[in-house]
């Protein structure tokens, strides 16, 4: 599937104004001087070109979304290197990585399972950093009055999940713990917005979802049947289109440094971060606050242990015939571009 950036971008009026301002301030192509006018100023002549566009794929979670709202520092640093950012919004990780295949995204932020599907499908990306584990930030939920009290009681029930997402793996692990498999339930593959509508209308019996959608449905009365604790790590990964990583290591590091700075800030300013995110996401402040409070801050390096956990996910899905071929997750790692150092 090929996705054109013009169809993916969802710019608010405020961001359109920002884009116009960037073009006005960052374009080094000067018009020819009219008769009687002097040449361009030395400042204009020294302004670097902004020929390189850094396309940042994001979801309505975490530092990438926060950075979109607080981008002054990033814009200045990229402009100093002849580049400028563009933001592309996604509801989930799989379409973000598919857009990376098409060259419509350079740097993305996704859960632990989408990269496995993407690598199996030949998407050229590399892991560069990860968030700390957040197993309680994803869960299987049921309506408050549902008779379902255990994961084992999902047998024969309709369960909504976003195909290829981190919660797809959570569902597999939760069923395995009860000696069940995906064949024992009726899977309904839905994106978050459609899944919420199906859940609220009773068209599915359970929903497997991540924050902040999880927090929002909790506040609406849903009951957590099982979260990821003791089942999954629920890492969120920073991934980069391989060609971009090989050609623009400096730009990758600039972006990741800003992500780390904002992640650390959000970790000590939950309320303010939630207000910023709520103002532009359409998600309730209370839901975002809950999500922020249970998500650890900071960026961590890609270690052999992290790649081994990813390999376990890949092996599980290949054994279930969910991905078409075996993969080696270590092949999607470039040590020279990896960000951060071991704690």
pLDDT digits (tens, 9 = 90+) for 245-269: 999 999 999 999 999 988 898 889 9
Domain stop point among 227, 258, 277: 227
Q: How much is the average pLDDT of 28-39?
A: 37
DSSP 314: H
Region for 282 from its dihedrals, namely left if φ exceeds 0, alpha if ψ lies in -120 to 50, beta otherwise: left
CA–CA dist 295, 290 (Å, integer): 9
Identify the pLDDT of residue 206: 98
Torsion sign, CA atoms 136, 140, 143, 146: negative
- Quick check: 317 pLDDT over 70? yes
Query: Does the residue 38 lie in any domain?
Result: no
Residues 106 and 251 in one domain: yes
Q: Which two tokens stand for residue 163?
A: 């195909």
Residues 215 and 326 in one domain: no
Residues 172 and 303 in one domain: no
164, 324 contact by CB (below 8 A): no
Residues 15 and 115 in one domain: yes
CA–CA dist 149, 205 (Å, integer): 12
Band (50; pLDDT cuts 50, 70, 90) = low
CA–CA dist 321, 65 (Å, integer): 34
Question: How many of the other CB atoms lie within 10 Å of CB of 325?
Answer: 10
The answer to which of 77-91, 244-258, 329-343 has the lowest mean pLDDT is 329-343
- Quick check: 337 pLDDT over 60? yes
Query: Does the residue 270 lie in any domain?
Result: yes
Calculate helix-pair angle for 166-177, 304-319, nearest 10 degrees: 70
Query: Does the residue 37 lie in any domain?
Result: no
Percent of the chain scored above 70 by pLDDT? Answer: 85
DSSP 153: G
Query: Does the residue 118 lie in any domain?
Result: yes
322, 282 contact by CB (below 8 A): no
Residue among 211, 214, 212, 181 at smallest CA distance from 199: 214
DSSP 27: -
Residues 89 and 18 in one domain: yes
Query: Does the residue 36 lie in any domain?
Result: no
Give the total number of structural domains in the chain.
2
Band (218; pLDDT cuts 50, 70, 90) = very high
Q: If you search the block for the tokens 């975002």, which residue do you land on?
A: 288
Identify the pLDDT of residue 336: 86
100, 127 contact by CB (below 8 A): no
Name the phi and psi angles at 84, rounded to 5: -150, 150
- Mean pLDDT of the residues in the chain: 84
Query: Does the residue 157 lie in any domain?
Result: yes
Structural domain range at position 59: 10-24+49-134+235-332
Residues 223 and 242 in one domain: no
Enumerate residues 6+ apart whose C-beta is below 8 A from 308.
none
Query: Does the residue 3 lie in any domain?
Result: no
**pLDDT higher at 83 or 6:** 83
33, 249 contact by CB (below 8 A): no
* Beta bridge pairs of residue 87: 56
CA–CA dist 275, 270 (Å, integer): 9
Residues 255 and 186 in one domain: no
Helices H, strands E: what count in the chain?
15, 10
- Quick check: 78 pLDDT over 80? yes
Residue among 211, 187, 184 at smallest CA distance from 198: 187
Q: What is the CATH number of the domain that holds 290?
A: 3.40.190.10
Domain stop point among 227, 251, 286: 227
> Does an H or E element contain 239, and which?
strand 236-241
Residues 147 and 112 in one domain: no
52, 252 contact by CB (below 8 A): no
Enumerate residues 6+ apart whose C-beta is below 8 A from 319.
none
CA–CA dist 301, 257 (Å, integer): 12
Residues 252 and 123 in one domain: yes
* Beta bridge pairs of residue 138: 210
Residues 183 and 327 in one domain: no
Residues 124 and 239 in one domain: yes
Domain stop point among 180, 210, 227: 227
Residues 193 and 325 in one domain: no
Enumerate residues 6+ apart whose C-beta is below 8 A from 130.
235, 236, 237, 238, 299, 300, 301, 302, 306
Q: Which two tokens stand for residue 144?
A: 């408050």
């Amino acid at each position: 599937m090929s996705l054109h950036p013009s169809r993916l971008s969802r710019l608010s009026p405020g961001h359109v104004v920002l884009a116009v301002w960037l073009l006005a301030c960052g374009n080094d192509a000067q018009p020819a001087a009219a008769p009687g006018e002097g040449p361009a100023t030395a400042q204009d002549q020294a302004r670097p070109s902004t020929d390189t566009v850094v396309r940042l794929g994001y979801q309505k979670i975490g530092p990438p979304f926060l950075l979109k709202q607080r981008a002054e520092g990033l814009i200045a640093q990229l402009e100093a290197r002849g580049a400028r950012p563009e933001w592309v919004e996604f509801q989930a990780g799989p379409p973000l990585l598919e857009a990376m295949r098409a060259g419509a995204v350079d740097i993305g932020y996704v859960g632990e399972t989408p990269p496995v599907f993407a690598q199996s499908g030949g998407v050229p990306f590399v892991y560069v950093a990860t968030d700390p584990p957040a197993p309680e930030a994803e869960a299987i939920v049921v309506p408050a009055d549902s008779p379902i009290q255990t994961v084992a009681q999902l047998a024969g029930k309709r369960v909504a999940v976003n195909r290829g997402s981190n919660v797809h793996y959570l569902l597999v692990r939760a069923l395995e713990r009860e000696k069940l498999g995906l064949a024992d339930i009726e899977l309904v593959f839905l994106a978050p917005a459609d899944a919420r509508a199906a859940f609220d209308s009773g068209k599915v019996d359970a929903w497997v979802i991540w924050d902040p959608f999880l927090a929002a449905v909790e506040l609406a009365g849903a009951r957590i049947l099982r979260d990821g604790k003791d089942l999954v790590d629920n890492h969120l990964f920073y991934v980069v289109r391989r060609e971009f990583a090989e050609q623009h290591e400096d730009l990758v590091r600039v972006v990741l440094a800003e992500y780390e700075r904002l992640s650390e800030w959000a970790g000590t300013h939950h309320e303010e971060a939630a207000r910023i995110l709520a103002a532009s996401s359409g998600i309730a402040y209370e839901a975002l606050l809950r999500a922020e409070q249970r998500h650890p801050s900071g960026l961590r390096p890609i270690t052999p242990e992290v790649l081994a956990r990813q390999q376990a996910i890949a092996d599980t899905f290949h054994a279930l015939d969910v991905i078409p071929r075996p993969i080696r997750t270590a092949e999607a790692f470039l040590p020279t571009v990896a960000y951060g150092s071991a704690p």
